[in-house]
Amino acid sequence: MDARMGGNIQGPSLIRVPDWVEDPLGQYYLYFADHRGTYIRMAYADDLAGPWTVHTPGTLRLEDSFFPTTCPPCSLAPGRSAALYAHIASPDVHVREDLQQIVMYIHGRGEGRQFTRLAVSTDGIGFEGREEDLGRAYFRVIKHDDYYYAMSMPGFLYRSRDGLSNFESGPRFFTDDMRHSALLIRDKQLHVFFTNRGDAPERIFLSKIELTNDWHNWTASTPVEVLRPEHDWEGANLPIEPSRGGHIDERVNQMRDPAIFKEDGRTYLLYSVAGESGIAITEIEFD
């Protein structure tokens, strides 16, 4: 934590820094955001258990992202009433060994809607934004066979040959209340970890999608609960109430923003705790 960053903490995405990055700050970079932030935060460590040190300057800045820095020109859809602010948030960060680049997908607000763009980096700190509108907000990306697949909120699936441009729309899953997701491929199934707005408490579910040849025929299994607040630092000591869409600045009994990290045959789940008040990591144990 630092004074510049503030107290809204959401959207974790974790990478192990690749060997081709010169003079890294640590072995691991953890990216995250303020729901209404003007830059993407980052912390670094040499061990997943910490200690973690915040890199105060951050990484990608709003002014380098191609998203508007003021409203207007950013705006709401006609007839819609909601908080309006220029921002970038919810990073999804990937090491692309084939390109020797680090790719960050982020969302922001344009004219009448929120959507996803990306930025690229050779060191994981300085990022160059790209202008192309890739699709709906909150992309979470994973590679399968010859495509990069992206799930957005709420449950819209896209795919691209190179993961950088020309994402085409595909099937949709889940309900209008589905919020953020995390993707994992295991046993020829796409595992989708996600939360729902309006749940009491908001918690993490898992649904599985069989990866058959025609993605238009993919179907999602009935979601099962995998994690809910159990500790005070997760918000378990706070009242159980339905969550709502958008940012939240007070501590609440909610989990949000699942993210997956894999290393050395082990799989970890990151998530935002007590609403948007911090980030936790736990190892997933499969049967």
**For the segment 202-258, what is each residue's pLDDT rounded down to a tens digit?**
999 999 999 999 999 999 999 999 999 999 999 999 999 999 998 899 999 999 999
pLDDT at 4: 82
Which pairing describes strands 101-109 and 114-121: parallel, antiparallel, or unpaired? antiparallel
Q: In this predicted structure, what is the pLDDT of residue 1?
A: 63
Does residue 32 sit within a domain? Answer: yes
Summarize the confidence of residues 140-159 as an average pLDDT: 98
Q: What integer pLDDT is reported at residue 287 of this predicted model?
A: 77
- Domain annotation covers residue 213: yes
Number of domains making up the chain: 1
User: Within 10 A of 42 (CB to CB), how many other CB atoms are there?
Assistant: 25
CATH, residue 209: 2.115.10.20
Q: Flag whether pLDDT at 2 surpasses 90.
A: no
Residue 4 lies in a domain: no
Is 2 within a domain?
Answer: no
pLDDT of residue 100: 98
Mean pLDDT (whole number) for 102-109: 98
User: Does 86 map to a domain?
Assistant: yes
Among 281, 263, 264, which Cα is nearest to 272's? 281
Mean pLDDT for 12-18 is: 99
Question: What is the domain extent for residue 114?
Answer: 10-282
Asked if 182 contacts 142 with a C-beta cutoff of 8 angstroms, the reply is: no
Tell whether 1 is covered by a domain: no
Residue 287 located in a structural domain: no
Global pTM?
0.97
Residue 64 has pLDDT above 70, yes or no: yes
Report yes or no on 5 lying in a domain. Answer: no
Given a cut of 70, is residue 264 above it in pLDDT? yes
